[in-house]
Chains A and B, each alone.
Chain A
Amino acid sequence: MLKITTAPHLQTSQDIRGIMRDVLIALLPAAAAGVLVFGINALVVVLTSVAACAAVEYAANRWWFKKGNTVTDLSALVTGMLLGFNLPSSMPLWMILIGAFAAIVPAKLCYGGLGKNIFNPALVGRVFLFISFPVQMTHWPIPQFMHIFNFDAQTAATPLNILKHLKQGSQAVLPSISDMFLGNTGGCIGEVSVLALLFGFGWLLWRRIISWRIPIFYVGTVFAVTGVLWLITGDIRYHPVIHVFSGGLMLGAIFMATDYATSPMTMRGQLIFAVGCGILTAVIRLCGTYPEGVSFAILIMNAFVPLIDKFVEPRYYGQRR
C-alpha cells in the first residue's frame, strides 16, 4: 500500500537526541581540560552531577509528573555536565545532588520539560548552590596541571577574585594570559580552559548546532565595555583580555547563553539578548559585590526572552522594494 503524506516528503536527519549528543561531544574537551587541571576530583564531580541530573529527571518524571521517560533525549545529561562544569572540584558530593534537583525539577520539569523552561536549568542549579553554600562554592582548589591524583586542600584565588580585591594602584599578581587561555588558573571545572571551550565551539558550529551570533556578540560586548574603560583609565582591573579569558564568560557564552529553550528565536532577538548579557556581565563584574557575573547576567536576560520573542520580529520578505 502506498503512503500519502503532505509535502515536504523529506525531513532532516537531525533530531533532538542527535543535537544533545553533539553538545555533549562539544563539552568533552573542556571536561578533559578540567580533569587535567584539577585532578580526579573534577571527574568525580562532573560524573556525579551528570548521573544525579539523569536520575532526578527519570525519577521525577516517573513518579511525580507521571510523564514518559525523557532521559533518552540526553538533555538532562547536558544539564548535568554544565552544572558540573560550574562547580569547583572540591564540591561535596551531597551538595551536587541538591543542585541537580534544583536544576531539573523546579527549573525545567515544573515548566513542562525541555523547550518550555524559561531559565537555563544548569545555571539555576549553580545559583541555587551559590546562594545556599557560598563557602564551598567559592573554595577554589589550586590548579595543578597533570597532577591528577594530588588531593591537596590548598586553595587559590581566581583571576577575577584577584582583580576584584585589587587596591587602586597596587601591583596585581595574576596568572599569565597564556595560562588563562590554556586553563592553568583557579576556577570552576569547566570554565578554566578557553582553548578547550573554543574546540567545543568549533564543533558546534561545524555541526550547525548553534550559530556564531550569541557567543561572538556576548564576548564582543564584554570586550568592548571593558576595553573602553581600560583605554580611558588604564587600570588593569578593566583589562579586556583578562576579562574575556577569565571566569565563566567563554563557558557561558558558548554553552549557556546559546541554550535553545532560553534564548530568543529570531536573529535580531539573539543580538539583543547577547549584547544584554554582555553589558550585564560587565556591570556585575565591575560594579557588583560578586567577582563573577556570567550566571546572573544570563539568568536575568533569560527572563527577558519571552518579551524579546514577542516584540522583536524578523525582517519579513517584501518589506524592502
Chain B
Amino acid sequence: MDDTVLLSILVLGGIAAVSAIVLFWTSRRFAVTEDLKILQIDSVLPQGNCGGCSYAGCHEFARACAAVEESGFAALNCPVGGQTVMDKIAEIRGFAKIEKKPTVAVLRCNGTCQNAPLKVQYEGISSCRIAARISSGQTGCPTGCLRLGDCVKNCRFGALSINPETNIPTVDYDKCTACGACVRTCPRGLFELRFRAPDKQMLYVACRNTQKGAVARKNCKAACIACLKCTKLNPEIKVENNLSYIPDTISAAACGAELQAACPTGAIVYKGAQKA
C-alpha cells in the first residue's frame, strides 16, 4: 500500500517536473520581445480590425505608428478612432498633434427605382461584382448602382443599408467611420469619402455617368447631363467628361440649397442640417 502511494507521488511528481522544465524552456525559446510602444498604441486603437487605415488590422497599424518618423506621421490615420485616437498616438510617440478632417462615405449614385426603372431582371447570386460582369446592371446605366448590396455586406459598422423605397443603399452618417471598406468593395467605385462639416450638412453630385446627357438620361432621370448650370452658380465646380464634380471644400451650408434647386435632373444631393 505504501509502495503505491510512494510510486504515485514519484511518477506524478516526475511528470510535473519534466513539464515544468519543458514549459520553462519553451517560454524562453519562443519568447517574443516587442516594443512597449506598440502595445501602448495598440491599446488605444478601436480594435475593429476594419482595415480602414490600409493596414491588416489594428496591431499592424500600431507597429506602423511605432516605427514611423515624425515627418511621416501625417500620412497615417485611423479613420475609425478619428481625432481622439490619433491625438493619443501622437502623445505616446511625443509628436505634435495633427488636425484630421472628419469624413464620411457618400454614394455617388441617385439611381433609385423611381429614377432608373428596371430594364431587365437579374436573377442569381446577390453580388454586385458578378452582376457587373455579365451586364451593365438591371437599369442599363453602366456606372450606376447595381443594388445588390456588396457594400452593405462589407460594412462592419452597420452604417449602410438598402433603402426599401429606393432600392439603393443609404449611408447613416452618424455610424459611418470612413473606414473605406465600401470604397474598396463597390465594383463601380461609387463611394467617396467626403469632408463632413460640423454642421453635418452634405453636398455632392450623386452621379458618375460620363455618357452624353441624352444617353445617360435614357437610363436614369437623375443622371448628371453636364448642363453646366451648377458651374455658373459656383465656378469652383468643375465639369469633365460630361460629369460635374463638387469639391468638398465648397460649403454645403452656404450654397447647398441653391445648387440643388438649380440642378434640372436632381443629380446634386444636398442634405440639410439635422433637426436637433
Contact = CB atoms under 8 A, between A and B. Distances in A.
B122 interface: yes
Nearest to B133: A6
Contacts of B118: 1
B47 interface: no
B251 interface: no
Contacts of B121: 1-4
Contacts of B133: 6
Contacts of A2: 120-121
B270 to A, nearest CB: 34
A108 B122 CA distance: 35
Contacts of A3: 120-123
Interface residues of A, number: 7
5 contacts: A1-B120, A2-B120, A4-B120, A4-B135, A4-B138
Interface of A: 1-7
A1 B124 CA distance: 16
Secondary structure call for the A interface? loop
Given A6-B130, A6-B134, A1 B119 contact: yes
Nearest to B125: A6
A1 B134 CA distance: 17
A5 B119 contact: no
Contacts of B135: 4
Nearest to A3: B121
Interface of B: 118-125, 130, 133-135, 138
Nearest to A1: B121
A2 B122 CA distance: 9
A7 B125 CA distance: 11
Nearest to B123: A5
Contacts of A7: 134
Nearest to B119: A1
A242 B43 CA distance: 70
A3 B120 CA distance: 6
Q: Which of A2, A3, A6 has the most CB of B within 10 A?
A: A6
B120 A6 contact: no
A4 B125 CA distance: 12
A5 to B, nearest CB: 5
A6 B135 CA distance: 9
A147 to B, nearest CB: 58
Contacts of A4: 120-123, 134-135, 138
Contacts of B134: 4-7
B136 to A, nearest CB: 10
Given A1-B119, A4-B134, A4-B135, 13 more contacts: A1-B118, A1-B120, A1-B121, A3-B120, A4-B120, A4-B121, A5-B122, A5-B123, A5-B124, A6-B124, A6-B125, A6-B134, A7-B134
Nearest to B137: A4
A9 to B, nearest CB: 10
Contacts of B119: 1
A7 B120 CA distance: 16
Candidate in A1, A2, A4, A7 with the most chain B CB atoms within 10 angstroms: A4
A164 B120 CA distance: 70
Question: Among the interface residues B118, B121, B125, which one has the most CB atoms of the partner chain A within 10 A?
Answer: B121
Nearest to A2: B120
A3 B135 CA distance: 11
Contacts of B125: 6
B176 to A, nearest CB: 31
A60 to B, nearest CB: 30
Contacts of B123: 3-5
Nearest to B136: A4
Contacts of B138: 4
A5 B127 CA distance: 12
Contacts of A6: 124-125, 130, 133-134
Q: When A and B form their complex, which 10 residue pairs have the shortest distance between CB atoms, in order from nearest?
A: A5-B123, A5-B124, A3-B121, A2-B120, A4-B120, A4-B135, A6-B124, A6-B134, A4-B122, A1-B121
A6 B123 CA distance: 8
A4 B146 CA distance: 13
